[in-house]
Every structure is written in structure tokens, then in C-alpha cells.
């Protein structure tokens, strides 16, 4: 029998309440050519017992039991057991659409230049979702192309990690890092800033469980401050890599936090673009505050747009393009 095409990388800890539904969704895949590597990161509940039931009945499942070392180490341990050309991430509390693996592997096989591919999501359970989470879901599912993904990459992580399918030879070079900020965002930005291409299957192929105990809700690594730190580190070495001066559009809470983070890398705003009448004409951190229409009269610097809200960013994008600024070349959105 030939080796499977796909390795599913599934770390877990204390996932007994959701694991069975997750593993059943994997078994139901229309693409049967897979192996699932389950990495138990020191569970104290019945997760291992439930996982063993699947291992005993279906040889495509393999369970690796480890001490509790944390998610990054579990991922790095897990992918070394993934011997197949494509690695699909999955979390133990989520559910795959039955065509997820088939559709993603088709895209990667048809496009050898792609390093990885994600897909859209449906958050659940819906009853308790707040407006902010629903807005995030809409934003994520609005990313429908490789170009759009690159344009949104510094706004937020443009790929939900459990939707990622990546080539094994790419992941073997990059791996996962523990830098004190989100390991998934770190991986995506390292791929993009290294010149790799990531695309999206614009269909909801993952049901993404939202609950208060989710690691992204409880760990300080996934705080807004750490997302900002991650963005700043990659902005400093990529978009702002050849200059220490930039123009900051937006000086609300989001813009202020990003400016502070960029200062750590010696990056300072030469000008600040604002609409607030009380700020116009002032000097903030040695940077004159100017209105948008003054951009065409100022010395050219890369522009970092740090304005929260998709509608506001859309309006700014339109203004910048009318003025002849090209996104990803002359300006970038980072909020």
C-alpha cells in the first residue's frame, strides 16, 4: 500500500468533551488518503482513552503521548511524525467539513508554487457569539485570494490555524517558534515575508469552536499586545526594513500601540496622518500631524495605516489609491 498524501497534525490536552466529534469528522472525509497524528500534551482527563478507541479501530490514527510541555513543543514534536507531503492542522475541539481535505489538497497539487492553503470557517456555537467575534468571522471569510491575504496579513492573522494545510518540506524548514506571541501568526508572517505564497479555499470547510476556555482566550501569548508585538517585529524587517522613518495613519489606541512597538526596532513616524481637528498641526513624538490631503506634498515614506475597523480601512485604501499609492508597495494596513 502506498503512503498517504496527507498527515493531520492534531495536538490535544484535556479535550475529552470534544475529541470524539472531531475525530469522527476526520473519519468522514471524502478524501480517505490520510494519517492523523494525535499528540497528547499531558492530558489529565479521558482524552487519551477516547483517542485510543479510534487508534484501535482505524489504523490511520496514531497517538503520541508526551508530558505537558505546551502547544509549540507539541506541534514541533507532532510534525516530525508527519511523513506525508501535505500536513493539515486540526484542533481537538473543531470539526472538519467532509470535503475539507479533498479541496485543500487539490489546490496544493494544482499549484506547485503555493506553500500552504487555508479555508473559511464557521464559528460555533452561534448562540453566545458577540458582535466582535462575528465581525472577525466576516473579516476572515472576506479573504478570498492570495493577494487579499497578503493585504490583510498585518491586520490580523489571515488564516485560522486549524484550517492550514502546508507542504511538509516547507514546514520542515520553518517549524514553530515560541517567541512570546501567537505561534500561528508567527509562522504565517515568516512564510509571507520569506516570499512564500499562501492561498485560501473560499469555502467554510471548518467549524471553529468558540468557548471561554479556548487557549486563544486564556493565554497572555494571544493578547492584543502580543499580536501587536508580532506585527511590529515583522514590519520592522520587511515593509520598513530599508528605512527608520515612516508615516503613521491613525493615532487612536491601535496606532499608539503600534508606534510604541515599532520604536523598539528604531522605527519612528516622520508624520502622523489624522482627521481629528484637535490634533492637526500639532507635533506628536517629533512627528507633525497632517491631514490626508497633505500626503501628496510631504516627502515620500512608507505609510502604515493603523486604523481599527474594516470600513475605515476600506475608505483609507480608496483614498490612497486615488492619490497614486500602491498597497503593499507604498502603504500597508496594520490594525
User: What are the phi and psi torsion angles at 309 (to 5°)?
Assistant: 105, 125
pLDDT in tens, 300-320: 999 999 999 999 999 999 999
**168: burial class by Cβ within 10 Å (0-12, 13-18, 19+)?**
middle
Which residue has cell 519612528? 268
Q: What are phi and psi of 230, to 5 degrees?
A: -65, -45
Region 66-93: mean pLDDT is 97
Q: What is the mean pLDDT of the chain?
A: 96
Looking up cell 517558534 gives: 177
Peptide bond into 125 cis (omega under 30): yes
Lookup: cell for 21: 466529534
Strand, helix or coil for residue 124: strand
**228: three-class secondary structure by DSSP:** helix
29 in Cβ contact with 55 (< 8 Å)? no
Q: Model confidence over 120-131: pLDDT tens digits?
A: 999 999 998 999
pLDDT tens-digit series, residues 280-307: 999 999 999 999 999 999 999 999 999 9
- 212 pLDDT band (50/70/90 cuts)? confident
Q: How far is CA 277 from the centre of its chain?
A: 36
How many helices and strands in the chain, by DSSP H and E?
12, 14
Spatial distance between the Cα atoms of 128 and 123, rounded to a whole number of angstroms: 10
Beta carbons within 8 Å of 255's beta carbon, 6+ residues apart? 248, 249, 272, 306, 307, 335
Axis-axis angle for helices 16-27, 47-57 (nearest 10): 20
Query: Percent of the chain at pLDDT above 70?
Result: 99
According to the model, what pLDDT value does residue 44 have?
97
How do 268-273 and 331-333 pair as beta strands? Answer: unpaired
pLDDT of residue 1: 45
Residues 6+ apart with CB under 8 A from 276: 251
pLDDT exceeds 60 at position 264: yes
Residue 181's closest CA among 133, 218, 228?
228
Over range 66-77, report the average pLDDT.
97
pLDDT of residue 216: 78
Contact 256, 269 (CB under 8 A): no
- pLDDT, average across residues 129-152: 95
pLDDT bracket for residue 211 (50, 70, 90): confident
Of all helices (H) and strands (E), which one includes residue 166? strand 165-167
Domains of the chain: 6-222 (3.90.550.10), 240-333 (3.40.50.720)
Interval 256-263 mean pLDDT: 98
Is residue 78 very low, low, confident or very high in pLDDT (cuts 50, 70, 90)? very high
pLDDT at 2: 58
Contact 7, 37 (CB under 8 A): yes
The dihedral sign for the CA sequence 275, 277, 281, 287: negative
Amino acid at each position: 500500500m502506498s503512503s498517504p498524501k496527507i498527515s493531520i497534525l492534531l495536538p490535544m490536552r484535556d479535550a475529552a468533551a470534544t475529541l470524539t466529534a472531531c475525530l469522527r469528522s476526520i473519519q468522514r472525509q471524502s478524501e480517505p488518503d490520510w494519517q492523523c497524528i494525535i499528540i497528547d500534551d499531558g492530558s489529565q482527563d479521558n482524552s487519551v482513552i477516547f483517542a485510543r478507541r479510534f487508534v484501535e479501530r482505524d489504523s490511520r490514527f496514531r497517538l503520541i503521548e508526551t508530558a505537558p510541555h505546551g502547544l509549540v513543543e507539541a506541534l514541533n514534536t507532532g510534525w516530525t511524525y508527519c511523513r506525508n507531503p501535505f500536513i493539515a492542522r486540526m484542533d481537538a475541539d473543531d470539526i472538519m467539513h467532509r470535503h475539507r481535505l479533498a479541496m485543500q489538497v487539490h489546490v496544493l497539487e494544482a499549484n506547485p508554487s503555493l506553500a500552504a492553503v487555508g479555508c473559511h470557517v464557521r464559528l460555533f456555537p452561534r448562540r453566545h457569539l458577540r458582535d466582535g467575534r462575528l465581525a472577525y468571522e466576516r473579516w476572515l471569510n472576506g479573504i478570498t485570494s492570495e493577494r487579499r491575504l497578503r493585504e490583510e496579513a498585518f491586520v490580523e492573522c489571515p488564516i485560522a490555524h486549524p484550517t492550514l494545510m502546508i507542504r511538509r518540506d516547507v514546514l520542515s524548514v520553518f517549524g514553530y517558534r515560541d517567541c512570546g506571541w501567537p505561534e500561528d501568526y508567527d509562522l504565517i508572517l515568516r512564510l509571507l515575508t520569506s516570499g512564500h505564497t499562501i492561498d485560501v479555499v473560499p469555502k467554510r470547510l471548518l467549524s471553529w469552536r468558540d468557548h471561554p476556555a479556548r487557549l486563544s482566550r486564556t493565554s497572555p501569548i494571544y493578547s492584543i499586545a502580543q499580536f501587536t508585538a508580532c506585527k511590529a517585529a515583522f514590519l520592522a524587517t520587511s515593509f520598513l526594513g530599508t528605512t527608520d522613518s515612516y508615516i503613521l495613519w491613525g493615532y487612536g489606541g491601535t496606532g499608539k500601540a503600534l508606534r510604541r512597538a515599532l520604536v523598539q526596532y528604531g522605527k519612528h513616524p516622520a508624520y502622523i496622518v489624522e482627521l481629528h481637528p484637535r490634533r492637526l498641526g500639532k507635533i506628536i513624538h517629533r512627528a507633525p500631524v497632517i491631514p490626508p490631503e497633505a500626503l501628496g506634498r510631504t516627502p515620500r515614506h512608507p505609510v502604515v495605516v493603523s486604523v481599527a475597523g474594516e470600513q475605515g480601512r476600506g475608505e483609507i485604501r480608496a483614498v490612497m489609491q486615488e492619490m497614486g499609492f500602491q498597497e503593499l508597495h507604498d502603504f500597508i494596513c496594520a490594525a
